[in-house]
Structure 1
């Protein structure tokens, strides 16, 4: 009997469940959420190949530990510090992109809403929307390539500096003239900020996404690249086919029509919407809330 009790004390007692509190559950959910998003991010970047290589090295390390291969273990331990530094240097763009995406995450922005005052103002007018749509499809009819970047919350000053400052009101005539063949400003992208065309001939970063179709050229890859680096909306007109595409958040939407483009522009216009309640001032100086018919 004493032997059975000792067996349970030594080998079965560890099976008892620990006391789990609410904070433990919250911590487990947070860690699981973080690990899931790290895995999703790794699979979408070149770091996925790095993870496969690290798994191979881990297997080799386990084999060396089991077989007591001291020389190989010594090499592993001596090179681990250099390896970590090399990984940080090689994959610096991926780490930077991950931090940018973390800052753009809708779960984080409500906690650090630094642009509250900007959100209350309309980004651009209906006239600007009409000018962009008209110019885009006029250029598409003549198969004139174009790349139009519309800034939202994240400033595009870094890319604006690579071009020529314009600082003019947006109009369809101006956009068409800029992208006309054999003109000094037709090469590169234009950046639109609010109701003004900030700069032209701007150079944009190309996307590293390996899943982008091979039939897309540099103009489309640049449009996707700048949408990955910021929250802008990019309008691309193909010079080969005359088709219009838009890029948002690293996703390319191809062959859009005028109504679709107009709706997308209106969606990011941030136009204040009148509520259902309207204040009416009474003769006594008070205000009364009346339902809007």
Structure 2
């Protein structure tokens, strides 16, 4: 028995083990990337297509087999188009290091805490009055293409300015506010909607846009529901809802890695949302 095991692993190198581990890790990350997106259904369809091709070959259905094989040749190019959002997201994640490393673009902790306090204070007032809002905090991925869809502001972040922007029936209340460092770059911005097919029907366009921008970048979206006043945070395509102001501040501090770090609050909220 031992001799057979030894024969099985004869010539097996340490680099082979590293090779297998790397392939397993990349495969795991790829599955994580497409989980909960339309890519899952597309992959199922692709697997069925390959199965039908093999079955037609075994059964001697030459005409159908010829059609399916030629369709697969063209399909390889079509897949690049169909999976473009997923491929783009994967390359963006590869190009990033960590989300934030203690500071944001050279910021100090004091500036980040001031930003968090301003956003939280605005959310508290907006939630109390059931005024819908969508604030996007830019990360390392630039959001210029979305900033250009809105109205340029260029003002320093303050609770008063944020509240005033989202007052109903004013020119800028629709769409998203995009914040870069301590500046409100633009208001009334259009964002991409999430492609997650499993999202709850009760979530409207504002939540779907907040999730959509976090699926395509490393931004953080803070959302206030117009119907219920519920405060939510979206990050990495995941939504954490029903936050009070204290929890909102704690979550943002953890994301930006400032202040006291009491456990992994974001992962807890994401799991229990």
TM interval, short-chain normalised: 0.7 to 0.9
- The alpha-carbon deviation at position 38 of structure 1 amounts to 2.6
Q: Distance in 1 between matches of 2:182 and 2:103?
A: 18
Aligned to 1:224: 211
Q: Distance in 2 between matches of 1:40 and 1:269?
A: 23
Change in CA separation of 1:235 and 1:120 when aligned onto 2, cut-off 3 Å? same
Matching residue within 68, 72, 77 for 1:80: 72
Aligned to 1:69: 61
Q: Distance in 2 between matches of 1:139 and 1:39?
A: 38
Q: Distance in 1 between matches of 2:257 and 2:145?
A: 24
Number of residue-to-residue matches in the alignment: 254
Q: How does 1:159-198 map to 2 (within 5 A)?
A: 159-198=146-185
Q: Which one has a bigger Cα radius of gyration?
A: 1
Q: Distance in 1 between matches of 2:102 and 2:222?
A: 27
Aligned to 1:46: 38
* Match status 1:134 vs 2:121: yes
Q: How does 1:193-212 map to 2 (within 5 A)?
A: 193-212=180-199
Give the secondary structure class of the aligned counterpart of 1:147.
strand
Q: Distance in 2 between matches of 1:268 and 1:211?
A: 25
Q: Distance in 2 between matches of 1:20 and 1:206?
A: 49
Does the CA contact (< 8 Å) of 1:148 and 1:192 recur in 2? yes
- The alpha-carbon deviation at position 223 of structure 1 amounts to 0.8
- The alpha-carbon deviation at position 117 of structure 1 amounts to 9.2
- The alpha-carbon deviation at position 129 of structure 1 amounts to 2.4
Aligned to 2:265: none
Q: Distance in 2 between matches of 1:180 and 1:167?
A: 19
* Match status 1:247 vs 2:234: yes
Q: Distance in 1 between matches of 2:16 and 2:87?
A: 29
Deviations 1:91-149 (A, max 9, x none): 32222223223334xxxx27xx9x99965433734333222111111111111111111
Matching residue within 14, 18, 27 for 2:19: 27
Deviates more, 1:258-267 or 1:210-219: 258-267
Q: Distance in 2 between matches of 1:65 and 1:46?
A: 29
Q: Distance in 2 between matches of 1:23 and 1:43?
A: 30
Change in CA separation of 1:172 and 1:36 when aligned onto 2, cut-off 3 Å? closer
Deviations 1:1-26 (A, max 9, x none): xxxxxxxxxxx9xx754411111111
* Match status 1:156 vs 2:148: no
